[in-house]
Amino acid sequence: MIRPLNPAMAATFAPPVMEAHRWRASTVLPAGLSLINVSQAAPTDVPPLPLRQAIADAALNLPAAHLYGAVLGMDELRAEIAQQWSQAYAGQITAAQVAITQGCNQAFCAVLATLAAPGDEVILTVPWYFNHKMWLDMQGVKAVPLTPGAGLIPEAEAAARLITDRTRAIVLVSPNNPGGAEYPAETMAAFRDLCRARGITLIVDETYRDFDSRDGRVHDLFMDPDWSDVLVQLYSFSKAYRLTGHRVGAIVASEARMAEVEKFLDTVAICPGQLGQIAALWGMRNLGPWVEGERQEILNRRRAVEAAMADLPGWELMGAGAFFAYARHPFAGRGPEIARAILAQQGILMLPGTMFNPEGAAEAHGQMRIAFANCDAAGLQEMASRLARLTLTRR
């Protein structure tokens, strides 16, 4: 007899990317058409050769690379993040205010574990990053949806109306996944001020900071000398250095919060992987120009998807940035069925807006996320040409 499942876990929806992979496995592609996979924002290329050589050298010649390390991560990597972030954001960040995690998803889970208990509430902007919603559901924490304004930019005034005595945090992702929006510095400051005034935490996920189209400092949050009383920043090394398989992320927060984060990380991982940390540190010290080249290529692909979608009848681009475009489509029906029909008819795998919105959100059925980072300009034009040939029923 199978024992009862944890009700909160059982009620949490299945991982959307895995669901999309199952669609692909069960679908016969049209004859003569190769798959265009714009479902997941993950680099498919390996890290650059010098970085792989640094990893190999550490694996062969550094005994500590195979042993347990500090729960909060390598001292050298924490110090490097503190130094580079202090310069980039014109603020004061110390190594003691940095922790290394097994990817940015674990960073989010660790921070939320210090903030919220079952029955508490956390405000998420919609469309939201589905793994954030999944973790809250599994923990019995209520995700409160914040509908954004023009350009998918959230508004602090709207968020203020959602705060209750159970609210523990507001989560912002910029550049945004899935919407691509880059939040203005004024927006970030307004949310900081709101959270401080209401005694809650502002969590800013900057996984895609390396691909922001704006040059220089994109917000002033760390310039506040008291930033640590309200702000937590999350970051991932997966995208900038193609270290997805090594799982390296980071938290920047107060030392007091780090003491609580350490309890969580020691329990679930003991320490982050050593080789991934070594790779991240080497990348930070040696790959600045290479990362800038990657940024410029992503910006080229953003321009390509914007141009391709502009000429596509019935489609409307709602947002584009970092690895993502988020669009309204002209077809009638339920989002998942439309996504599967697009795959079956034209060999394009993308994710429906229903995967990024509250259950029952009718408008989500008319939306699609396009993760274009692994599709070059020619591929994006081919995608648009195929979308124009769809024979689905229109609204």
In sequence order, what DSSP letters do the residues of 184-217 get, joined into one string? -HHHHHHHHHHHHHHT-EEEEE-TTGGG-SS-S-
Question: CB–CB of 117/250 below 8 Å?
Answer: no
Torsion of CA 56, 60, 61, 65, to 10 degrees: 80
**pLDDT value of residue 3:** 74
**Of 210, 193, 202, nearest to 171 (Cα)?**
202
Two structure tokens written together for 163:
């705060």
List the chain pLDDT tens, one digit each, 395 residues: 567 788 888 888 889 889 999 999 999 999 999 999 999 877 778 999 999 999 999 999 999 999 999 999 999 999 999 999 999 999 999 999 999 999 999 999 999 999 999 999 999 999 999 999 999 999 999 999 999 999 999 999 999 999 999 999 999 999 999 999 999 999 999 999 999 999 999 999 999 999 999 999 999 999 999 999 999 999 999 999 999 999 999 999 999 999 999 999 999 999 999 999 999 999 999 999 999 999 999 999 999 999 999 989 999 999 999 999 999 999 999 999 999 999 999 999 999 999 999 999 999 999 999 999 989 999 999 999 999 999 999 98
Using the structure block, give the residue that is written with the tokens 């990362």: 291
Strand partners of residue 144? 123
The pLDDT of residue 2: 66
Per-residue confidence (pLDDT) for residue 1, from 0 to 100: 57
Residues 144/158, Cβ–Cβ less than 8 Å: no
- Find how far residue 158's CA is from the centre of its chain: 23
- Give the three-state DSSP class for 166: coil
Residue with tokens 């008319």: 366
Q: Which CATH class is domain 49-287?
A: alpha beta
Nearest-angstrom CA–CA distance, 40 and 344: 18
The fold of 7-46+290-388 is Aspartate Aminotransferase, domain 1 (3.90.1150)
Cβ neighbours for 79, distance < 8 A, ≥ 6 positions apart? 95, 98
Domain ranges, ordered by start, for the chain: 7-46+290-388, 49-287
Closest CA to 158 of 133, 183, 191: 191
Residue 373: closest CA among 315, 308, 302: 302
Nearest residue to 392 via CA among 318, 314, 327: 314
What residue ranges in 222-287 does DSSP mark as E strands?
Answer: 231-236, 249-252
Q: C-alpha distances in angstroms, 272 versus 68, 74, 254?
A: 9, 9, 20
Task: At 194, list the tokens.
Answer: 């709101």
Question: What's the pTM?
Answer: 0.95
Backbone angles phi, psi at 249, to 5 degrees: -135, 180
**Residues 349 and 26: beta-carbon distance below 8 Å:** no
